[in-house]
Amino acid sequence: MKILVCISHVPDTTSKINFTHDDSQFDSNGVQFVINPNDEFGLTRAIWFQEQQAATVTVVNVGGPDTEPTLRKALAIGANDAIRVNANPTDSFFVAKQLAEVIKNGGYDLVIAGKESLDYNGGMVPGMVAAILGYNFINSCTELTIEATNAKAIREIDGGREKVSTSLPLIIGGQKGLVEEKDLRIPNMRGIMTARAKTLTVVEPVEASVHTKAVKFEKPAPKSAVKLVAADNIDELINLLHNEAKVI
């Protein structure tokens, strides 16, 4: 089984976020980038298939040379090889077209992507790729098993979970639950050294339309000051909730 894991290069949640050019562009200076958490769950599940079912695992990213450390980390975790599409990921459709081309040329049986990236939270790319290629698609996937060309999965739906079965080739939008957090892999020294010798192929992008553009970014409003009320002063608490917060 050939597995392709789509990797987004996203800011660490602990990074301080700023914008430039009149708040129209993200300022990457001083920002630490990591593997998108939803993608990391998918990568760990792919490595499980590698170990248990002799699958081969390729990771792919659409981005510039600055994303290669993230791909190298994925290789250190256990992926067999990596592909970088040498393009700025301008919007979801553009990225989906690039990934679809890689999938078509590589003949992958299973494509694992995060259901959304941590930075833009668009949640569109996996479904777009499936639509372009005509592949089966399962979104918000929390469990996945493969037997021969048959797949069984569980996905989150409003108010519960849904069990589904389908066949390969398949694209999933994965999330927490594909593996437990305790099962996420941390690259060890041997993995880091081995990753240096693994193949990282750079391919040029195919032509694709760009349909959306980020016009302006705005940070959330800062949190207001907190007022502390003594535990035994119920009257003051009620007064503040009623007259100031206006929630009762």
Domain boundaries, the chain: 2-219
Class (C level, CATH) for 2-219: alpha beta
Q: What is the pLDDT of residue 220?
A: 85
Other C-beta atoms lying within 10 Å of the C-beta of residue 189? 8
Q: What is the pLDDT of residue 14?
A: 87
Question: Quick one: average pLDDT of 17-26?
Answer: 89
Residue range 126-167, pLDDT digits in tens: 999 999 999 999 999 999 999 999 999 999 999 999 999 999
Q: What is the pLDDT of residue 5?
A: 98
What is the radius of gyration, based on Cα positions, of the chain?
21
Place of tokens 């698609």: 137
Residue range 25-81, pLDDT digits in tens: 889 888 999 999 999 999 999 999 999 999 999 999 999 999 999 999 999 999 999
Q: What is the pLDDT of residue 227?
A: 86
Angle at which helix 68-77 crosses helix 37-53, to 10 degrees, equals 40
Q: What is the pLDDT of residue 244?
A: 87
- The answer to whether 41 and 179 are in contact (CB under 8 A) is yes
Distance, CA of 117 to CA of 170 (rounded, Å)? 20
User: Side by side, which strands form the sheet with 136-147?
Assistant: 160-167, 150-157, 136-147, 170-174, 110-114, 2-6, 56-63, 81-86, 200-203
Distance, CA of 231 to CA of 217 (rounded, Å)? 40
Residue range 201-229, pLDDT digits in tens: 999 999 998 888 889 998 888 887 888 99
Burial class of residue 119 in the structure, from the number of CB atoms within 10 Å of its CB (0-12 exposed, 13-18 middle, 19+ buried): middle
Question: Is pLDDT of 15 > 90?
Answer: no
